[in-house]
């Protein structure tokens, strides 16, 4: 089939705007009339620096990131790399803050005994991150604030444990959650009430994984210590990861002190300080990936005068059309997550028509693929159907899928 015949619903890598890819393809051969492609220019060239600085400025503008207080870092090692980076850097920041407040080494040694990193687990990705904290620090230091499987009658992911049942640690190094669980289709409807900063500005250091919903709705950036996301869903192609980090959390204590305290030291490539000091060029970065992300931002900024709020309206509309089509046939489809936490990005459902769910889902996938609606198979760990309505999927694509959902139910 031709590219125009397909609406791709895969969860990541995801569909990209065709005009961005065309521009990038031309830039790979000859960037800006330099006679050399963008992936061939040195990462130390002015071209590379300009591409990085422009992408940072456009990201800050689109999401309203206060750049006096936050660094935007282009990193490598994916969202999974950030699971580790968060632990290393924020445990370092926790030590650094106590040291600056005058704690002696023996005070610190005592404090480390009760070090806790809080994790709210709502799906497979936050669970992986929670496990990484336990692996790096020792399980006793990773506190499971909530596990939504335990508060659910199904014993499966698909809801968010009510905040009244969260067991937050008062002096935690940070509190972590995943804003949109890609596999389970669970999205936080808004910033959690109990993590909001108090009137005096104090409050927990909040970390959010926004790999699969970034650039799709406004974010209260100032409520966060760290926001991170891999590029390969809404921001571009696989290969770069962005961390938006509050500047006061970046400096690290001397490695010798961390060793004395028995705490891990970040590998240099995962240390925010080394990346920030080098404007994301501590080592060779894929400038091609940053270029593509920059072009995605330029397209979003030119499409939506009101920036991410404009995209949010379209995202709500697309998800609304698809969920409504599913809801119209409750005897044929079962939406996986609870209504109040339904993801706008990853729409997960089962086809329960007839006695054999497996056969019904196979038929659904076969018929949808024949119509050019591809990539709808659910994640291998949970099965079912998943429609990832990322930013590049057009409204017309959502309408086409909704029409198919309706037709399949009636057939």
Paired sense of beta strands 346-351 and 333-335, if any: antiparallel
Task: Give, in order, the Cα–Cα distances in Å from 272 to each of 9, 86, 255, 290, 402.
Answer: 33, 9, 14, 18, 43
Min CB(323)–ligand PLP separation in Å: 20
Q: Quick check: 79 binds ligand PLP (CB under 6 A)?
A: yes
75-83, 195-203, 318-326, 395-403 -> range binding ligand PLP (CB under 6 A): 75-83
**Residue 78 binds ligand PLP, judged by CB under 6 A:** yes
Between helix 287-303 and helix 46-63 the angle, nearest 10°, is 40
- Signed CA dihedral, 299, 305, 309, 314: sign only: negative
| Three state DSSP letters for 232-294 | CCCCCCCCCEEEEEEHHHCCCCCHHHHHHCCCCCCCHHHCHHHHHHCCCCCCCCCHHHHHHHH
125 assigned to active site: yes
Strands 186-187 and 180-181: antiparallel
* Choices 21-29, 77-85, 304-312, 388-396; region in contact with ligand PLP by CB under 6 A: 77-85
- 233: annotated active-site residue: yes
The sheet carrying 333-335 orders its strands as 333-335, 346-351, 385-388
- Nearest distance, CB of residue 239 and ligand PLP, angstroms: 9
> Which residue number, 27 or 120, has a Cβ lying nearer to ligand PLP?
120
Q: Which stretch binds ligand PLP (CB under 6 A): 22-30, 78-86, 109-117, 323-331?
A: 78-86
- C-alpha 173/C-alpha 264 separation (Å) is 14
Should residue 209 be labelled a site residue for ligand PLP when binding is judged by CB under 6 A?
A: yes
| Catalytic annotation, pick one of 233, 318, 353, 377 | 233
Say whether residue 80 binds ligand PLP (CB under 6 A): yes
Q: With CB under 6 A as the contact rule, which of the stretches 34-42, 163-171, 207-215, 274-282 interacts with ligand PLP?
A: 207-215
Q: Kindly give, in sequence order, each residue whose CB lies less than 8 Å from that of residue 18, ignoring residues fewer than 6 positions away.
A: 3
Nearer to ligand PLP, 71 or 187 (CB): 187
The region of 74-82, 88-96, 108-116, 333-341 touching ligand PLP under the rule CB under 6 A is 74-82
Minimal distance, residue 346 CB to ligand PLP, in Å? 8
Q: Does 12 bind ligand PLP (CB under 6 A)?
A: yes
CB 228 to ligand PLP: min, Å? 9
Q: Residue from 178, 195, 276, 326 that binds ligand PLP (CB under 6 A)?
A: 178
182 binds ligand PLP (CB under 6 A): yes
In angstroms, what is the minimal distance from the CB of 362 to ligand PLP? Answer: 24
Which single residue brings its beta carbon nearest to ligand PLP? 78
Cβ neighbors of 139 (< 8 A, separation 6 or more) are none
Q: Is 184 exposed, middle or buried (0-12, 13-18, 19+ CB in 10 A)?
A: buried
Residue with token string 């960037």: 31
For ligand PLP, the closer CB: 238 or 363: 238
96-125 footprint of ligand PLP as x/- string (CB under 6 A):
-----------------------------x
* Binding of residue 230 to ligand PLP (CB under 6 A): yes
Q: Which is nearer to ligand PLP, 14 or 115 (CB)?
A: 14
Return the range that interacts with ligand PLP (CB under 6 A); candidates 53-61, 73-81, 354-362, 391-399.
Answer: 73-81
- CB closer to ligand PLP out of 182 and 315: 182
Reduced to 3 states, what is the DSSP secondary structure of residue 8?
strand
> C-alpha distances in angstroms, 294 versus 42, 52, 228, 236, 383?
18, 8, 17, 8, 34
Q: Report how far residue 232's alpha carbon sits from residue 210's, in angstroms, rounded to the nearest whole number.
A: 12
Taking the complex as a whole, the smallest distance from the CB of residue 122 to ligand PLP amounts, in Å, to 10
Q: Which position among 184, 209, 273, 289 bears the catalytic label?
A: 209
Report the SS3 class of residue 209. Answer: strand
Quick one: DSSP state of residue 377?
Answer: B
- Of 9, 56, 125, 184, the active-site residue reads 125
For the bound state, the minimum distance from the C-beta of residue 128 to ligand PLP, rounded and expressed in Å, comes to 8
Token pair for 47: 């071209």
Binding footprint of ligand PLP on the chain (CB under 6 A):
12, 78-80, 125, 178, 182, 209, 211-212, 230
Residues belonging to the active site: 125, 209, 233
């Amino acid at each position: 089939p031709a590219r125009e015949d397909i609406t791709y619903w895969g969860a990541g890598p995801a569909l990209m705007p065709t005009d961005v890819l065309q521009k990038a393809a031309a830039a790979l051969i000859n960037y800006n009339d330099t006679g050399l492609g963008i992936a061939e220019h040195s990462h130390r060239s002015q071209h590379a620096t300009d591409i990085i600085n422009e992408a940072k400025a456009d990201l800050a503008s689109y999401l309203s990131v206060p750049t006096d207080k936050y660094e935007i870092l282009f990193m490598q090692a994916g969202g999974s790399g950030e699971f580790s980076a968060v632990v290393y850097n924020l445990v370092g920041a926790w030590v650094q803050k106590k040291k600056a407040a005058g704690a002696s080494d023996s005070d610190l040694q005592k404090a480390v005994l009760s070090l806790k990193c809080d994790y709210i687990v709502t799906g497979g990705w936050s669970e992986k991150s929670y496990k990484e904290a336990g692996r790096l620090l020792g399980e006793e230091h990773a506190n499971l604030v909530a596990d939504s499987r335990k508060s659910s009658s199904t014993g499966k992911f698909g809801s968010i444990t009510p905040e009244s049942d969260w067991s937050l640690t008062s002096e935690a190094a940070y509190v972590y959650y995943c804003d949109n669980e890609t596999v389970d289709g669970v999205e936080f409807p808004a910033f959690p009430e109990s993590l909001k900063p108090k009137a005096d500005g104090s409050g927990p250091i909040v970390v959010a994984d926004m790999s699969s919903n970034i650039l799709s709705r406004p974010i209260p950036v100032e409520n966060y210590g760290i926001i991170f996301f891999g590029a390969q869903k809404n921001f571009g192609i696989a290969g770069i990861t962005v961390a938006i980090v509050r500047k006061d959390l970046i400096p690290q204590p001397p490695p010798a002190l961390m060793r004395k305290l028995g705490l891990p030291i970040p590998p240099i490539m995962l240390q925010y300080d080394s990346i920030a000091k080098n404007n994301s060029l501590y080592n060779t970065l894929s400038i091609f990936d940053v270029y593509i992300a920059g072009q995605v931002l330029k397209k979003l900024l030119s499409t939506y005068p009101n920036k991410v709020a404009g995209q949010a309206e379209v995202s709500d509309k697309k998800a609304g059309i698809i969920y409504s089509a599913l809801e119209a046939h409750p005897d044929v489809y079962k939406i996986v997550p609870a209504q109040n936490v339904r993801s706008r990005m990853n729409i997960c459902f089962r086809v329960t028509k007839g006695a054999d769910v497996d056969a019904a889902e196979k038929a659904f996938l076969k018929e949808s693929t024949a119509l050019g609606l591809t990539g709808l198979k659910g994640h291998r760990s949970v099965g079912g159907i998943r429609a990832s309505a990322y930013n590049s999927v057009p409204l017309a694509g959502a309408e086409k899928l909704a029409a198919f959902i309706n037709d399949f139910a009636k057939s």
